[in-house]
Amino acid sequence: MKRLGVAALVLMLVVISGGQYGAAQDDTTLTLSSIALGLGNSGVIEGTIACAVDACSAFSVTIRYNPAVVRVDDLQVGPYLGSQPLPLEPIIDNEAGEAVFSALTVGAFTPGSSDVLLRIDLTGIGIGVSELQLVVVEISDAQGNVLPSSGISGRVTVTVGVPTNTPTITPITIVAPSQVPVTPGTARPSNTPTRAATPTVDSSRPSAADAEIVFQSDNDGDFDIYVIGTDGQGQRRLTSSDADDFSPSWSPDGEQIAFYSYRDGADADIYVMNADGTNLRALTDSSGEDDWPAWSPDGSQIVFTSTRDGVREIYLMNADGSDQRRLTNNRSNEYWPNFSPDGDQLVYMSERDGNANIFTMDLDGTNVSRLTSDNASDEDPAWSPDGSQIAFMSDRDGTFELYVMNVDGSDQRRLTNNTSPDWWPAWSPDGTQIVFSSRIDGDRNLYIIDAAGGQPRLFTDAAAAGVPDWRAVE
C-alpha cells in the first residue's frame, strides 16, 4: 500500500508506561490524509500508525460518514509497506454511514521500525463534503493491554465533486476515556480489542395498540420494504427487486407508502405503492438523487431531497409527482425533511453552517429558524404528533443517540444511552413512544422506547432494519 502525497492529520494517542503518561518519544501516532473525489470516482485515505512502547498488536477503529456523499468500499490494515493485509473482519454499513473493523498483527511490531498502515477505500456518490469521523480507536500492546488513551474524536474531510486546491484539515480533539493507568502485565482474555459492555435490553413486547411499522431491511439479500406489527408479529415483505429500496413513509391515511429506490438506474427516485405493495409507480425521474420522502399531514404533498441541481436541497411536490419545486438554495447539503403536524412548517437537517444542525422553515422556504447549534451532527428530526416536541439523533456525546427538544430548540435532552449508535427516530401515532434502529444486541434491529425515556424494547429480528415509520391501524 502506497502513501498519498497530500496533507495529513496527526492524532497523538498517549501511551502509559510504568503508571505515568509517557513522554513524546513514547507516543503512538495515527496519521490520516484528507482527499478530494470526483462524483462517481474512488479514492483512498491512508493512515500510518507509528507504534511505541512494547509495540502494537491489535487495532479496532470505528468511523462514521455521510452515506449520501461517500461510501466506504473496503478497509485494510497491514504492516508498513507490507503486501499482506492483517486478518480483518470489517462491518461496513453504507446505509447508516458507519464502518467498524478490528485486526490482529502477525506477531509483535518493533517500536519505531515497523509501523502499521490503515487504508480506507472510498467512492464519491453525491456532491458535497463528508467528514469521516473517527469515533473509536483502540490500540493494544503485545501483551493484549488496551492502551488507555485510545478514545479519540477526529475528523477527516472528504470533498466530492467540489473544486478544491488544498485539502481541508479539521482540528482534532483528543479525548482520553480514562485517566486510570493500565497496570503493566494485566492482559485481557484475548488479543481482540474489547468493547464497552452492552446494556441489558428489556425484550418484553410493547402492546400492539393496533399499529404497524414500515421499515427497510436487507433480510433477503438487498434492501427492501417490510411492515410489521408493534407486537413483533406479522412481518411481511412488500417490495422485491434486484435494486435497493429505502426510507419508507406512510401516507396519513395509511393506504400508501412512499420510498426511494435505485430500481430504474444509477440514480435514486421517489416511488409510491399501496400499503400491500401493489400499484407501484414512480413520482420522480431526475438526473440526480431523489430521496428521503415524507408526506404532508393531509396527504396532498410529499417533501423530499434531491441533488438534481448539483447539491442536496429540499423539494416539494404534489402527491402525484406534479409541481416539483425547490424550497432551499444554500449550496450545502440538506436532509431528512418532515412536516409539522399542522402542515405549515418543515423540520430538517442542514450543513449550511458547517456542521449538521436542525432547522425549521415555512413551506415556501422562508422564516428559517435554527434549533440546534453545536460541533456535532444533529440529524433526522421528527415532529411529535401533538406538535410540541422534536426528536432527533446526535453524536454530540460521542456516539449517535436519540434526543428530544421543544419545537423552539429549548430543553434539549438525551433519550437513549447505549454503547451502540441509535438512529432514525419515529413517533407513535399517540406520541407516547418512539421507534428507532440500533445495534444494542449486535445486529441492527428496531426498538421501541417510551417518549419519556426508559429501557428500549426489541421487537424485530431482521437484518439491517432501519428508517422506520409508524401508523395506526383502524
Beta pairing, strands 35-37 & 152-160 = parallel
Q: What is the pLDDT of residue 301?
A: 97
Give residue 86's pLDDT band: very low, low, confident or very high (50, 70, 90).
Answer: low
Residue-by-residue DSSP string for 99-161 = EEEEEE-SSPPPTTTS-EEEEEEEEE-SSEEEEEEEEEEEEE-TTSPBPTT--EEEEEEEEES
Residue 171 and residue 9: Cα distance in Å, rounded?
8
Cell for 24? 513524546
Q: What is the pLDDT of residue 59?
A: 64
Would you say residue 175 has pLDDT above 80?
Answer: no
Q: What is the pLDDT of residue 134?
A: 66
For the stretch 342-361, pLDDT in tens is: 999 999 999 888 788 999 99
Residue 308 and residue 95: Cα distance in Å, rounded?
20
CA-based max dimension of the chain = 70
Q: What is the DSSP letter of 440?
A: T
Whether residue 349 contacts residue 367, with contact meaning beta carbons closer than 8 Å, is answered with: no
Give residue 280's pLDDT band: very low, low, confident or very high (50, 70, 90).
Answer: very high
Options 3.40.50.12500, 1.10.1660.10, 3.90.650.10, 2.120.10.30; CATH for 211-472 is 2.120.10.30
Residue 309, sorted as left (phi over 0), alpha (psi -120 to 50) or beta, turns out to be alpha
Whether residue 252 contacts residue 297, with contact meaning beta carbons closer than 8 Å, is answered with: yes
Closest Cα partner for 112 from 61, 45, 59, 54?
54
Residue 47 and residue 29: Cα distance in Å, rounded?
10
Going from the C-alpha of 294 to that of each of 188, 275, 302, 419, 463, the distances in angstroms are 48, 15, 5, 30, 24
Q: What is the mean pLDDT of residues 72-78?
A: 74
List the domain boundaries for the chain: 8-173, 211-472
Residue 57 and residue 35: Cα distance in Å, rounded?
28
For the stretch 34-63, pLDDT in tens is: 566 666 677 777 666 655 544 556 666 778
**Residue 229 bridge partners (DSSP):** 212
Would you say residue 283 has pLDDT above 50?
Answer: yes
3-class SS of residue 24: helix
Closest Cα partner for 68 from 334, 280, 296?
334
Q: What is the CA radius of gyration of the chain?
A: 23
Beta pairing, strands 334-339 & 345-353 = antiparallel
Q: What is the pLDDT of residue 472?
A: 78
For the stretch 8-35, pLDDT in tens is: 333 333 322 222 222 233 455 566 655 6
Residues 6+ apart with CB under 8 A from 464: 93, 95, 96, 216, 217, 218, 219, 223, 443, 444
For the stretch 372-421, pLDDT in tens is: 998 888 999 999 999 999 999 998 888 889 999 999 999 999 999 888 88
Options 2.60.40.680, 3.30.70.100, 2.70.70.10, 2.40.100.10; CATH for 8-173 is 2.60.40.680
Place of cell 478490528: 102
Closest Cα partner for 117 from 129, 109, 126?
109
Specify the amino acid at residue 155. Answer: R
**Residue 49 bridge partners (DSSP):** 30, 116
Residue 98 and residue 115: Cα distance in Å, rounded?
26
Specify the amino acid at residue 178. Answer: S
Instruction: Give the global pTM.
Output: 0.62
Cell for 203? 425484550
